[in-house]
Amino acid sequence: MSAEYKNTILVKHVMRKVSPVCESDTLRDVALYMIKEAAPVIAVVENEIVRGVIYIQDLIDPFIPDYFNYLSDFQFVKTFGYLDAEVFSGYFKGLFLAHDIMREQFDYVEPEDSILKAMFYMHRKNITGIVVIEDGKYKGIVSRFDLIGRLYGTDTD
């Protein structure tokens, strides 16, 4: 490696190993696991193959009706009535599985990629994390917090 690239920070320097979930896991289980691991993205893996990914936002979307996209201001709303009761009743927690909301089309990075590539994808797609895959196999994740910790922290390799 030439001297000019000596300080290059690669994805493998910032990625974290976060165990994947299965397509049959409930959204409640996925959510609790993401919270426990502080992971904004999680891979859905079956037979060592990444089938899809779930972003933290994907766990919220099933509760938001499509027509909300057409409303520009919620300032006047104090309660959503029946919708509030339905969302917070716990009914949805076991209704959906990881398979139901996972994204089958997703960007990923490899361990030997520059962290700038990970930053680019996260910025361009407005996502808070990205999965790391090598030779078709899941390796871990990189989150914006991982990048910020490396860029502004005191860690050096």
Q: What is the mean pLDDT of residues 43-57?
A: 93
Residues in the chain: 157
1-5, 45-49, 103-107, 119-123: segment of lowest average pLDDT: 1-5
Nearest Cα to Cα of residue 125 among 150, 144, 147: 144
Rounded Cα distance, 3 and 7, in Å = 8
Residue 108, pLDDT > 90, answer yes
Q: Give 53-98 pLDDT, tens digit per residue.
A: 999 989 887 666 665 665 666 655 565 555 555 555 555 566 789 9
CA dihedral 33, 37, 41, 47 (to 10 degrees): -60
- Domains for the chain: give ranges and CATH numbers: 3-152 (3.10.580.10)
Nearest Cα to Cα of residue 141 among 117, 111, 121, 112: 111
Give residue 48's pLDDT. 82
Rounded Cα distance, 65 and 7, in Å = 47
Name the band, by pLDDT with cuts 50, 70 and 90, for residue 120. very high
Give this prediction's pTM. Answer: 0.78
Tell me which amino acid residue 55 is.
Answer: Y
